[in-house]
Every structure is written in structure tokens, then in C-alpha cells.
Amino acid sequence: MSSKYYYITTPIYYVNDVPHIGHAYTSIACDVIARFMRLAGKNVMFLTGTDEHGQKVEKSAEKFGMKPQEFTDKNSEIFRKMMHQLNISNDDFIRTTENRHKKAVEHFWQELVDKDEIYLDKYDGWYSVRDEAFYSEDELTADGLAPTGAPVEWVEEPSYFFKLSKWQDKLLEFYHNNPDFIYPESRKNEVISFVKSGLVDLSVSRTSFGWGIKVPGDEKHVIYVWLDALTNYISALGYPGNSEKYSNFWPTATHVVGKDILRFHAVYWPAFLMAAGLPLPKSIVAHGWWTNEGQKISKSVGNVIDPFKLIDEFGLDQVRYFLMREVTFGNDGNFSKDNLVARINSELSNKIGNLMQRTCSLVYKYCNKQVPKVSKEFIAKIYLESELINLAINLGHQNNDLMHSFQINKVLDNIINIAEQANAFIDKEAPWALKSDQEKMNEVLYILLEVIRHLGIMLLPFVPDSASKMLDQLNILEDSRSFSDLSPNSALIPESMINQPTPIFPRLENDIS
């Protein structure tokens, strides 16, 4: 049975960097899912936050001549603001330097020690500070770099190890028994072959720097930043206490992550949890990476995309829409301003905006600024017989399944499909030519307004401000804007006032550079 709770998380972001398109993308995707699930009636907990410990952050702070705590306080705030600027509806924002998190990590560590899952030894091997990851010799490229292209350094130091190798078979069994654990399928296969190729025990503490959570009882060591960071997903729910939040939400957890950090989430994290005797999250969803006008995004190339500049140039909802629409969720995508402008103009402006503008202007002009007068019987009838209304209803149902399997862009395909059919309907019925048959004109315009109401509600997760404006124009009450209102029970009330139509999705100029 599906739970009424829904827990969704973004990765927590490293504070050494300023927000870029990758951070914005993951956050917006999670926000769309969270908003969708709320509209579908779920009790949602949506978590994001910042990852503040480790060598990478310590080095960055040094570079800026700041104390790590001062540095992370400043930069974490920038991410908090980003959430606000992107209209992200997170319920909590966790920082790994907070006490609630530190206590959870210490407890989690102790559980692993008590269960004999951790032992002291010595690490001799490669480490990449940029990736905060250990690499074996045979993983390095011919140039001696990490497989991600990051530089590595040789490390020799005492270290605690987690008995990862012991969990190999249990993990494979778990993936087998829970085929929906990793999305998409192609990534799942990658994870399985990685685990099958053999797991070695994982170094989980460092001694050569100090910025982190100290190993309980052995303060020379700080806990490996990934063990620390992954625990955020339960510390925010009140672990290790017996909170209701934890028991309600944890079994429903969905972690959305970029493909580069899938291994940490789909292999290490489940192994840590199994070892600590805790239940596993429900799903791990890996999304692809964006390139910029065909090129890999990197600081050294200097083509990092600043999400705030994009919003200033094109508008927030326009950017949110483009990012969710342009690629099949899970695949890589190419960012291009021309494509963004083309998408916004051909879909949001031409299909949705025009439909709304045409319909509302006619209603304003020929129906007394009121929802056209039709009978109750007519409303009941169109819910049974109108092809357009039925298309909206059916695709609305389908969207629920699509979102539960994280096919975010397909939900938008459906929404655009409804708008296209509505435009074809208005062209075919030509209500402007029905001045001599007011009853017929009322019926055609009523169907169109009702479909616009559906579209407005369906668009809320993606373009929250613009979709709210659509619904405001129809004077739809705040408490009648959920998916349960996509039914005849909440149909527009004939002869209720609508508001003066104003353009919702203005066309963008093509020559913006």
C-alpha cells in the first residue's frame, strides 16, 4: 500500500563553490516532485541543505583566509538564499555543522562500532580532494587522474575502515528484491556491475586535517566526509530519537542525486544503513549532467552557468520550465539559450499563454466578464463526453504514475499535449464566429475555460507563480487548487466573475545574448 507520507531530498551542497546550474537543477527537480506530491494529497517532507566538512571545504576556507566555521556560515547562507530565489519549497534546510547533525553522526558511528562493522588499520592509497573520494590504482587514468578527471594525491595515514566487502552479496540481493530502488534502469545496471566487480573495505576516517566531526573516543581522526554527509538524511528526521517524523517519513525516502554521486548513495549508504540495522530508503534517482552549448561545464573552461543571471534574463518560471522540459529526466542535457528561447516561445507563450489569452478575452468580451452560463447537466455531460475534457482527465491520471517513476519531462509532454488539443478545439469551434448562437458560444468557451483550469493546476509544480496567476485570473480559490479538484465537483461555477486577462507568458526576444 502506498504511504500517505513522502520524503524527498536533494544532495547537500558543498559550500566551497557558489551555486551553479547543477545545484539549481537538482533543487528544482526535487521541488517539482515535492509540489506535485503535495497536490496529489501526500504529506511531504522536502529536505535540502549544505555539506560543510572535509578537506575540500577546509582548503577553500584557507584560500579565502577565513576560519572554516566562518566560511561555511557565509556560504551556506548563499545556498539558503538560492532556495528562496528559485522558489524551492523545502520544509527544512540542514547544515552538517549543526549540533543536531553532529549528534546523529556520532551516534550512527557508535552503532557501527558496536556492531563490529568498523576496525582500525592504515590507509595507503590515492585520494581526490575535489571528489572527496578514495581511488584504487587501477581506477586511475593513464595521466594519473581520477576517473572523473580530478587530481589525486597519495595518502598514508592511520584510518578506520568500514567492512564494506562483507555487504556485497546483501546489496546484490537487495537490488534484486527491490527492482525500483535505483532509477533509471541504465544506472541501476551500472551500480549492480560495480558491486559485482567486488567491493573492498572503505576508509571512513582521516587524520591529516581537522575540519570534521571527530571520531568518538579517538579525536585524532575526523569522520570521512561522505559518512558524515549521507547521515544528514536521517539526522534531519530526528535520528537517533524516536521521532514520529523519522518513523513516518524515513521508509518513504527518495534521494535525488546527480549521476556522479550515485555510487555513494546506492552502494555506500545502503551498506552503512544495513550494517547499523536501519531500514533503507525507498528510491535513489540519478539525473544526468548539463553541458553548456555543447561543452562540458568547468571552472577552468570558464563556462559555468550562473542560475541567477539566467533568471534575471529569462524569468524564474521560464528557467524552471526549460530545465524540466528539455531533457528526459535521467539523461544528460545540453543548455543553449537559443533552445531556451525557442521552448518558451513555442510552448509557454504560443500554446499555453495564447490559449488563455484568446479564451479569456472572448469570455471577457462576450460573456459579461463571467464564466459562461451553462447548465449543471451540461457540465456533467462534458465530463462524460467531451474529448478534450476526457483527455485532460486521463492524462492527469497518467501523470501520477509518471511522476512516481520520476519521468518528469513526460508529465510536461502530457500537459503540452492537452494545450495543443485545446488550441485545435478553439480553431475548429471558432467561438468568435458564434455571436448569433450565444448558447453554443457559452458551451465552447466553458469547455475551454475548464481545460485551462486543469492546465493551471497541472502546471503548479513546474511554474508555481505563473500557474497561480492563471488560476487567479479564473478566480479559483486557494483551497481548490489540488489534483482532487481535477473533477466535475470543482468545475467552474457558471456566471462567476473572471479577472481582466493579462499575458502570463510573454514572448522572449530571440536576440537576447
Residues contributing to the site for ligand MSP (CB under 6 A): 11-14, 21-23, 25-26, 51, 229-230, 232, 257-258, 260-261, 289-290, 297
What's the min distance (Å) between Cβ of 52 and ligand MSP? 9
Q: Which is nearer to ligand MSP, 75 or 473 (CB)?
A: 75
What's the min distance (Å) between Cβ of 174 and ligand MSP? 19
**Residue/partner pairs of 217-226 with CB below 8 Å, 24 or more apart:** 218/120, 218/160, 220/158, 221/158, 221/159, 221/160, 222/53, 223/105, 223/109, 225/51, 225/53, 225/54, 225/55, 225/56, 225/132, 226/132, 226/133, 226/264, 226/268
Q: Which is nearer to ligand MSP, 18 or 155 (CB)?
A: 18
What's the min distance (Å) between Cβ of 240 and ligand MSP? 18
Q: Are 372 and 443 spatial neighbours (Cβ–Cβ below 8 Å)?
A: yes
**Burial call 286-295: b when 16+ CB within 10 Å, e when fewer:** bbbbbbbeee
**Nearest one of 112, 123, 98, 133 to 225, comparing CA atoms:** 133
**Nearest one of 14, 27, 26 to 289, comparing CA atoms:** 26
Sole residue written with cell 577553500? 60
- Measured CA to CA, the distance from residue 475 to residue 371 in angstroms comes to 10
Q: Is 475 left (phi over 0), alpha (psi -120 to 50) or beta?
A: left
Q: Which is nearer to ligand MSP, 21 or 492 (CB)?
A: 21
What's the min distance (Å) between Cβ of 49 and ligand MSP? 9
Nearest residue to the partner ligand MSP, using Cβ: 258
What's the min distance (Å) between Cβ of 64 and ligand MSP? 17
Q: Which is nearer to ligand MSP, 51 or 58 (CB)?
A: 51
Run of H or E residues at 159? strand 153-162
- Measured CA to CA, the distance from residue 74 to residue 83 in angstroms comes to 15
What's the min distance (Å) between Cβ of 318 and ligand MSP? 19
Q: Which is nearer to ligand MSP, 25 or 71 (CB)?
A: 25
What's the min distance (Å) between Cβ of 331 and ligand MSP? 11
Q: Which is nearer to ligand MSP, 263 or 351 (CB)?
A: 263
What's the min distance (Å) between Cβ of 345 and ligand MSP? 24
Q: Are 139 and 147 spatial neighbours (Cβ–Cβ below 8 Å)?
A: yes
The three-class DSSP label of residue 57 is helix
What's the min distance (Å) between Cβ of 398 and ligand MSP? 27
Sole residue written with cell 578527471? 149
Q: Which is nearer to ligand MSP, 26 or 386 (CB)?
A: 26
- Measured CA to CA, the distance from residue 399 to residue 230 in angstroms comes to 31
Q: Which is nearer to ligand MSP, 171 or 261 (CB)?
A: 261
What's the min distance (Å) between Cβ of 245 and ligand MSP? 19
Sole residue written with cell 501526500? 42
Length of the chain: 513
Taking each helix axis as running N to C, give the angle between helix 376-385 and helix 387-404, from 0 to 180 degrees, rounded to the nearest 10: 60
- Measured CA to CA, the distance from residue 338 to residue 510 in angstroms comes to 7
CA 233 to chain centre: 15
What's the min distance (Å) between Cβ of 326 and ligand MSP? 12
DSSP letter for each residue of 208-276? S---SPEETTEEEEEE-HHHHHHTHHHHTTTTTS--HHHHHHGGGEEEEEEGGGHHIIIIIHHHHHHHH
**Number of CB atoms found within 10 A of residue 447's CB:** 25
Q: Which is nearer to ligand MSP, 12 or 223 (CB)?
A: 12
What's the min distance (Å) between Cβ of 257 and ligand MSP? 5
Q: Which is nearer to ligand MSP, 14 or 446 (CB)?
A: 14
Q: How many CA atoms lie within 13 A of 30 on its CB side?
A: 34
Q: Which is nearer to ligand MSP, 271 or 486 (CB)?
A: 271
Sole residue written with cell 466535475? 488
Q: Which is nearer to ligand MSP, 230 or 447 (CB)?
A: 230
